[in-house]
Structure 1
Amino acid sequence: MINLKIQEIHIYGFGQLTNIVIKDLSDFQVFYGENEAGKSTIMAFIHGILFGFPTKQSSELRYVPKNGSNYGGKLRIWFDEFGIATIERIRGKASGDVVVTLEDGTTGEEELLKLLLGNMDKGLFQAIFSFNLHGLQNIHQMKGEELGKFLFSTGTLGTERLAKTEAELQKELENRFKPSGKKPVINEKLKALHELSGDLKKAAAKNQDYETLVTDKDRIYKEIEDISHSLQDVKSEVEKLNEWQKIQSLVKEERWINTEINLLGENPFPARGIERIEKLNQLIYPYNAQISSLMERISQLKQEVVAIQPEKQLLADESMILAALDQIPIHEQFNLDKQQYELKLADLEEKISNINEKLHLPLREEEVLTINTNIYMKNQVEQSARKKQKLMEVKQDLEEKFREEKNSLEELERKVSYAQTQMIPAHERARFEKLVSVDSEKGKVEYELKAVQDKIEYYQHTHEQDKKTFAAINKQKQIQFLAIGLILLILSLYGLYTKQWILLVFGVLGSFLIGVFLSKNNSRKNDTKINQTLSQLLEDEKRLLQLLEKYKNSNIPALQEKLKQDNYWKEQQQLLKIKLEQQQTLYEKVIRKFEEWEIEAAENKESILKLSGELHIPEYIADSFFLEAFQLIEQYKLLGREKRNLLARMENINLEQANISERLTYYAKQYLADQGSDFSKIGYLLRNKLKDEHGKLIKIQEKQGKLDDLEADLNQMKREQAHLISEKKKLLEEANVEDEEAFYELGKKCETKFKHIERLKDIRKQLQYSFLKEDEIERLLQIHNVEEVLIQYHKRIETLSSRLMELQEKQAAANYQIQVLEEGGSYSELLHHYKQQKFELEEAAKEWSVFSLAQKILTKTVEKYKNVHLPRMLAKAEEYLYFLTEGQYQRIHMQQSGTGFLIERSDHTLFEANELSQATTEQVYVSIRLALAATLYERYHFPIIIDDSFVNFDANRTKKVMELLTTLQHNQILFFTCHTHLLPYFQPENVQYLHKGNVEVIS
């Protein structure tokens, strides 16, 4: 897993930006600036530093500074695995020269950078982790199935490259071959080759001798190849024998040295054994004198330690003595506390007296303390007091509500009476309705008349068009049938002349049928039918016009307006009656609430009287100041308890002081000659006594420490001496000898064997350049007379060379005769043209197969992706889409055929991508892009760079997408924008402001 975070951007020169430093980038960093402030430049700078600057042949902008400043800069990036890494790239080779420096000082170039980035390339990074308006603009321009394919391609690679690649491959295949096509290249070449094959077979029949010559030519060619191979094998043997003559002596010497090494045997002897044993002897002897000196110094220190001894009992009681001494400040503090408690006690007694004056209760202090003021009682008192106050407020509200509802009721009664006076009497309304019903019949007649007139116009126009059309068609058909009749007449005459009666019968019968057809006129039947329909429609029009004359004189609009007004006042009266009933109900409800209030007020008063009796509060106080009286009783009891606590504390202080005095007096008698009565002096003397005894302990510890060091040095020297003796013994054991003399003799033998091994290495270095293999060397060792074998091989070469020249002359003669035949006729040209066309067809087929194979590989890859990886990505994309659309869209389904998506709404309706709104389509695109980074590329925790990709979202959609981005815990977000309305979505400390023409250091 690769986890990285950009911490600092330093731009030497890139586009319009010069000497820019941006430090302390946050996990969600925002870059705000107006157009041309450098947002896209910074984004391109990050791509360039990580993956190389665009080359001159690239279509991307290179951002080379115009002012001549240094081209490039560096990034400081934190990696989980490597810590802080500095990546610097400046002008250099095609994509710039890069230097990577790790936290531990390791440096490297492109290879180290690829290792840090997990071999991520620029295209894939831009497709997965870099957002801009380009992807969304593609969505706006696409329609239909293209949009679904684009979203599928985005879910696969992060861009539309998959869809484009698939379309390009299909286009290339169709340009080369179609099963039923004529224009594709392979179709044309197949047709031409088929025609040439036929011509070639015809020409070959005229050249029977040509095939015989070709057969002889092939036979000669085969024999030449066999002799050439044999000749090559003999020459190879000759080369091996020549090489053997060069290395023969070295091989034999190698065999002799191997024999000598085997005779010396595998006697074990340590590496540099003689040198090591002499060095050990030099180190062992000096240790004896050093060990003797250390033992004398240890004995002297032990005597000095015995001379110093502290008072052990005093040190044993040290903790208790110090505890008693620590109580001296407490004893003095107790005196101060007693003074404060006495003052506080007087203050409490005064407060109790004041409360007693306010209450005027005929009770003693002990009786007041027995009054029940627990939580339950306090809750009852507070509830009763609050309820009384609430009842007073409710009474005021009810009185105000009563006045409002009474006024509203009277107003509605007046409105109902007024509406009744505005309505038309029932008998007059019935007369008006009868007159208006006649007007509805008039509308039906007018509508029917309009329909009849439209039909008359349509049939008249159709009749005229049919006349013109039939005239033109009849004329054309007559010409065609006259031509066919003339042909059939000629055919009949030909059959009569040649006595082919079938042709004669066929011609006569055809002429008869043509004559019958020409005499038949279909247009007349059509004309009769249209004329009958028009006559019927004209009669209907006349009847409807007469009926319409009857309704002209009635004043219907005025009557309709009166009925409309009457309907309005009827509706108003009904509505006002309903409101009046509702208002009457509200009025009665207020009266009922007054009755309920009186019952609650009586219950509350009874509760207060009962509680005041339990608390010994007089009724006249409880009626007005019930809660205040209860609170004063609580204060009285609280102050009384505090007074008792103060008296108990003063008694405890007296006991503690007596205990401290007793302990200090005891230790002064035990360890001090001059005791005194001042506790401060006793403490000072006891502390000095302890200090002296601790000084003795420190001296003993120092000397004991030196003693331990000397003993450790002594033990170390003994161990080192024993180790050296042991190493010497190991050398003898390793050589498998008893004493040093035998060790030296064995060393001489090993030296001789070593010289043989070195010589063997030299020989093998010389033999390694020989091309002879080990099995060939073993075979050549068996040959006793190499010169004789070489002579035999040379004779064999001469024989084979002679036969080869003879066959080559025959081959040349056959080729000449074939050439004569080919030059003498068209066969050679056809053959050449046929082979050329066949070669071109094979090349075109190879190209077609390459594109076909690429298409199959792409299809299989897409299928594997759809079945294995896509479900996991779609699950995450559905989660993001559900969040962005607030549950309006829930699922993303793959289409059964093709490469598109279906989007499922919350009501389970499915939509294709082109059926969604523009903003919803963008939300689907963003969900898929973020899901790719979170699932398929989850091991790459790279920064996600976004350049104003959400400007088309409304406020709610923008808020949701910002909330979604904050949930991406593993990826740093770099957000570039020029829109001020987006800034409130971010923390102020995470916003970096960019300004036009800014060449200052940004920090």
Structure 2
Amino acid sequence: MKLKRLTIYGFGHFHDRTFDLTDGLNFLVGPNEAGKSTLTQFITAILFGFPTKKHPELRYEPLDGSRFGGEMQFVQADVTYTVTRTAGPHGGKVTLHNDTTDLALPANNLAGLLAPVDQQLFTSVYAINEPRLGQVFAASKQELIDRLRHVGAVGSDFWLTQAHQLDQQADSRYKPQGRNPILNQQLQAHRELTDKLAKADAAYGTYWQLLQEQQDLRQQQAQTQDQLAQQRQVTAQLTQQAASWPAFAEWQRLGQLADQPVPSGFSADDATQLEQLRGQVTATEKALTADQQRVQDLQQTAQLPPLFQEYLPVAAQVDPLLTQLPAVQQAAQMQQQLAAQQRDLQQRSTALETQYAVGGQMPRPFSLATLQQVKDLQERLTAANQKRRRIQQHLNQLNERYQQQQPTRQQQRNPLADKQLIWLAVGLVVLVGSLLLPGTLFKLVGALCGVAVGYYGVFQVDSSTPASRELEDLTADIRDNQAQLREGGHLVDDLTTQLDVIGEAHGLGNVPLAQWSAAQTAIAEWERLSRQMEEQGAQLAKAKQTIAEFLTAVGQVLPSLATSDFATVATQLADLQARQQASQTQSGELASLTERLRTDQRAADEASHALAIFLSTRNLRSVAAFYDRYQTQRERQNQAQQRTTLAQQIGPANLAALQQVADQASLTQSVQQAQTQQAQLQQTLDQTTTRLATLAGQLAHLTASGTQATLRQRLANLETQMVATTQEWLVQRLTSQWISATLAAASGDRLPQIVAQASKLYGKLTENRYTEIELTATTLRVRRADGAWRNVGQLSRGTAEQLDLAVKLAFAIVMQQQVAMPLLIDDGFVNFDADRRQAAYALLAEISQTVQIIFLTADTAVERLNTGNLIRLND
């Protein structure tokens, strides 16, 4: 599995964020609290589900209230998938989509794609951080073996659980130092009963109760014997069917072969016809060889050129090639022209790529809708910038007017305002003086005059000046223009952001906006050049193929020209054609032999053609293939006879019964069930018989020692239970050991590979200070360069973490064929010194050729490594 893209809707402090990953080494760099651990938990959650709300610290629900979840695009087995997980029950709502075939898949298919990796294995091996590397101090061989079994054996989780349950059940029955297990309690009870039996006095039981029990048991014994006889018949039939299963499987296999269609044309008559055709081919080839030998003798006598001597025996095959020579020469001229044009187109394409390509990738062209959108955004951006400039100019003018019209102290004073207190004082004096006047009417008129004077002084006299009022208007205009300027800035930022998003989406992030139009023209020109190169490449390949096929055909009939180039071959064939035309006027035996040679060649070709038609009508390439088919048909007849014999051997009844069985496993299970039921009936019968024997002894000795007989019976029953408990304990313990041995056989061969690989990686991490890793029964230990061994507890924390890192990397490399998972490393090298940290980076770059690595770190030194895909989390 290789991760391609992470899209976060809302997870922790991330929202609406996308990360594009490459197949090899990916560095995600950011300081503390940049979200490195959040990304690790995001990948784990998308693959295996969100933790429950009982663990809110692991859920990373979005802090801004955005939609919880995200999606992940990954590639597995050359197929691209997209898995989306959002908030919902049972680990979140999951959707799975096959991007290669554009099909929606059931959500439960995700577990099948991840199998056999589950969340526990992923977090313990593939999700690496500093605390988990520290767990190497408690590592053991059994933990690594369990990881291997989990991946190396299909269904191992179930069997490991079964083995663990069997061990627990066995421990619940017996432990050497235990008290609560059943067998331990039975042993204690056995000792107590033995002591009681030795000390017990004679006592009497109830004779008639024992006698009634004896009668009931005898009736039960008879019924059990009848059931056991019937069950034995059923078990015998099923056992016989199980024994016949190999023959039945062979009968089924032969039946499948018999159902396959048998091609016609492979009978004994066909074999006779084939031999006749082969005889004709042999005879014509012998005649042709004799005439060729005679022609060679005459040619040597006539002292003909070697090429012409070589031509004469194969003239019938060379003449068509001479006819093709002009067309092939024209193809050679076209090849030279196309090669020159191809070089010119490549130079022009390379120039465009040098100018616009980023990371070897040309920008993508705009669609018509995108082109119109960019045009509209540019026009709106231009208009917004122009409006901002006009507003800014107007604002500057207003500011200048404001500075020029700042009032002086004298202008700020209002004479009438200075006299407000005087007017108020005069009004008050008039009001008080009116109260001293005689007569109510005079007092009322005087009071009204005093109030009018005070009202005029307070409310009618305006304290402001024309200059102050103009400044207030300017201030209002300035504030209004500033608000418009801020609004225009927001609009410009929004339009710029939209253009930046379009540029990033089409690979134009490094191209200035003003050059986008020229870039689109260049992209169109580059695509046109690419198409022309493809078309001319196809024509050039066709011309090369024509020349190559012509040279091959010439080399087959004229071996002396097999290693010559086309120019030499064309010259030689032209000379040969001229000599051929000159030799047509010659007469005599050579001409006669040449004609007869051509006749022989035609006869040989016709015989070979007839043989080829005979084989092609049967879809064969050779005579040996015919005889293989012929032998296969004879084997089919033998298989049909064998199938009939097997059916008779199995018998009609068993054959009909076996045809109703799904597979051998179900038949074996039926046999085991029948045997188990028979064993249970037999056990019941044995218990009944044992009880009857016990009752007979009790009845015989009841009058003499009733209490002793009861204790003896209890002791006998206890011993029977102890035997049964011991048998169950042995079955459970042996079954658990068998499961462990089987799973170890299925995956144990990979353990030496992992240890050997880990030793190599550990040597590179520690600069060859440690050269070997040994996995003991309880822990890991390493050998130093001087030969001394060190346990994990004797290593420094950084060196121990490097050991755990080497083991986990080795595990991922060796298990790559079974489990192709990416490695997530979250600041795992914090305890490494500078040299070993650089060695670790070099090692990651090396293994990233086969394993995808996502390294999240706060170490900005990785930006200077010039390797891998670098992503800055704060960008």
Is the structural similarity TM-score above 0.5? no
Which structure would you say has the larger Rg?
1
